[in-house]
Structure 1
Amino acid sequence: MNRGNVKIVSLNADNWYDCCELEVSKEQKEFIEPNAISIAQTKFELTLKPYAIYAEEKVVGFLMYNSVQEELDGYWVYRIMVDKQFQGKGIGKTATKLMMLEMATSDNAKKIVVGYHPENLGAHKMYASLGFIDYGDRFGKEMAVVKYITD
């Protein structure tokens, strides 16, 4: 699935290691697990769907969502990250839009939920710009924002 020069590709033998080498900025490290942890998680939680984010045919990010409904009766986004060298170019937002289109094809998909640390202002700004709303749901240290899928 692609849009412009950004596409998301299912994690595979050709791109998994590139995803493991990606890094967020020093200020963001406290908000997200390393991609290698997320990739390992997919081997035990088989409903998780991992993707590499490409820009101009280069792996520049990683995302992962759950293909079954969870808390709040929504489909949860587990990870979205863009390497520190490629941030601020709209890649994460475009990749998120592509992921949401993919998630919308899931059975009974009515809403998408993202959890993130309240101090992660970059995540807050991006999700708000995509129409996610904070209804006050909290899970541990994370806030959960919701986007209803419309037909």
Structure 2
Amino acid sequence: MTQNQVKIAELNAENWYECCFLEVADDQMSHIEPNAVSIAQSKFEPSLKPYAIFLEDKTVGFLMFNSMEEELDGYWIYRIMIDKNYQQKGIGKIATQLMIDEMKTLLNPKVIVVGYHPENKGAHQLYESLGFVDKGDRFGKEMAVVLEI
């Protein structure tokens, strides 16, 4: 998998519907909201920025971040998911780095934060590999890790 094969694009009239049918693996369903819920949330919270993830021209994932600072004085990644049929190929890591780059361009953040369930080992490995650090912050059932820019 090369970075040139993976792209992200803002959600729009042409790509939102495909994102609604993407699914995570059965053992991941308790870790993330369905994409349709996230897309609806973004329509009522305009600071949320939803994006589709593409492998070449195929929609394979969804991500969303907040364009306003929140807890921990950071900009939060709200969602990152790769369809179960495309997981374990490096797409998630490339897409997350593309999202971080997009956030840097649009928001000029000092801190990027993401929360996830502690038992989600895949998320832990992904964020740790990108430089996120667990400083012990917890929000309900989720842990929050921080990337200082």
**TM interval, short-chain normalised:** over 0.9
Structure 2: which amino acid aligns with 1:45? E
Matched residues, number: 148
Question: Within 1, Cα distance between the matches of 2:67 and 2:106?
Answer: 7
Question: Within 1, Cα distance between the matches of 2:31 and 2:7?
Answer: 24
Question: Within 2, Cα distance between the matches of 1:107 and 1:91?
Answer: 23
Indicate whether 1:44 and 2:76 are aligned. no
**1:103-138 deviation digits (Å, cap 9, x = unpaired):** 112445101000000000000010000000000000
Long gaps (5+) in structure 1: none
Question: Within 2, Cα distance between the matches of 1:61 and 1:141?
Answer: 24
Q: Secondary structure at the match of 2:105?
A: coil
Question: Within 1, Cα distance between the matches of 2:117 and 2:12?
Answer: 29
Question: Within 1, Cα distance between the matches of 2:137 and 2:54?
Answer: 32
Q: Secondary structure at the match of 1:128?
A: helix
Long gaps (5+) in structure 2: none
Question: Within 1, Cα distance between the matches of 2:67 and 2:136?
Answer: 24
Question: Within 2, Cα distance between the matches of 1:7 and 1:107?
Answer: 19
Question: Which residue of the partner structure matches residue 16 of structure 1?
Answer: 16
Shift in CA distance, 140/55, structure 1 to aligned 2, threshold 3 Å: same
Deviation for aligned residue 1:3 = 3.4
Question: Within 2, Cα distance between the matches of 1:108 and 1:78?
Answer: 18
Structure 2: which amino acid aligns with 1:136? G
Question: Within 1, Cα distance between the matches of 2:47 and 2:108?
Answer: 15
TM normalised by structure 1 equals 0.95
Question: Which residue of the partner structure matches residue 76 of structure 1?
Answer: 76
Question: Within 1, Cα distance between the matches of 2:77 and 2:70?
Answer: 11
Deviation for aligned residue 1:4 = 1.0
TM normalised by structure 2 equals 0.97
**1:61-120 deviation digits (Å, cap 9, x = unpaired):** 000000111000000000000000000000010000000001112445101000000000
Question: Within 1, Cα distance between the matches of 2:107 and 2:126?
Answer: 26
4+ runs deviating over 3 angstroms: none
Question: Which residue of the partner structure matches residue 94 of structure 2?
Answer: 94
Question: Which residue of the partner structure matches residue 58 of structure 1?
Answer: 58
Question: Within 1, Cα distance between the matches of 2:6 and 2:108?
Answer: 27
